[in-house]
Amino acid sequence: MDRNDAWALLCEFTASEGLRKHGLAVEAVMRHFAGRAGAAADLWGIVGLLHDFDYEQNPTTETHAFAGARVLRERGWPEVIARAVASHSDHTGVPRESEMEKTLFAVDELAGFVTAVALVKPGRSVYEVDVASVRKKMKDKAFARAVSRDEIVAGAAALGVDLDAHVAAVIEAMKGVADVLGLAGT
């Protein structure tokens, strides 16, 4: 299975442009972190792209990620990908064991939050986002309220990195695909 297969699977299950862009954002961030870890960027990218592919059809904590992992296994995707999808959120109870699984957890919510911050900037651009603006918005519980601040903090801690440095790395990775994400500015 390759990236084209992953994109086809994402599109098969996900009609929402926003959710597809979230997959693309997490893919870019995972590739960035794979490079830093000396890991397989293609594998990490596919995991990022697919992590929420089932969400639109399975939006509840009872079904999300479980359904995705099941579909991946039924269709013959590698177990390492199915397991990463199953472990990416606390509600599944699947422990994160590999560096890739920990990284996916650490970047998922944060990539969504950085996107939300970019969209409220005057130019609607990730290039306008910095660590201070993300940290300030994290304190505003009404802003992007569906994003778990606790998971953002726990993700950085699980990687053993400073939260500000982690936020900066995610912003930098997303800048690399700003055009694709619609976050290059107006």
User: 79: how many CB neighbours lie within 10 A of its CB?
Assistant: 11
What does the pLDDT read at residue 63? 87
Structure-token pair, residue 133: 């603006």
What is the residue whose two structure tokens read 């957890």?
Answer: 105
**Per-residue pLDDT tens digits for 104-117:** 999 999 999 999 99
> Is residue 75 packed enough to be buried (19+ CB in 10 Å), middle (13-18) or exposed (0-12)?
exposed
**Per-residue pLDDT tens digits for 38-50:** 999 999 999 999 9
CB 117 within 8 A of CB 129: yes
Mean pLDDT to the nearest integer, 62-88: 96
> DSSP code of 38?
T
**Per-residue pLDDT tens digits for 108-163:** 999 999 999 999 999 999 999 999 999 999 999 999 999 999 999 999 999 999 99
Q: Which domains does the chain have, with CATH numbers?
A: 3-181 (1.10.3210)
Res 14 pLDDT > 90 = yes
Structure-token pair, residue 56: 């639109």
Residue 106: CB partners within 8 Å, gap ≥ 6? 155, 156, 158, 159, 166
Residue-averaged pLDDT of the chain: 96
Residue 40: CB partners within 8 Å, gap ≥ 6? 34
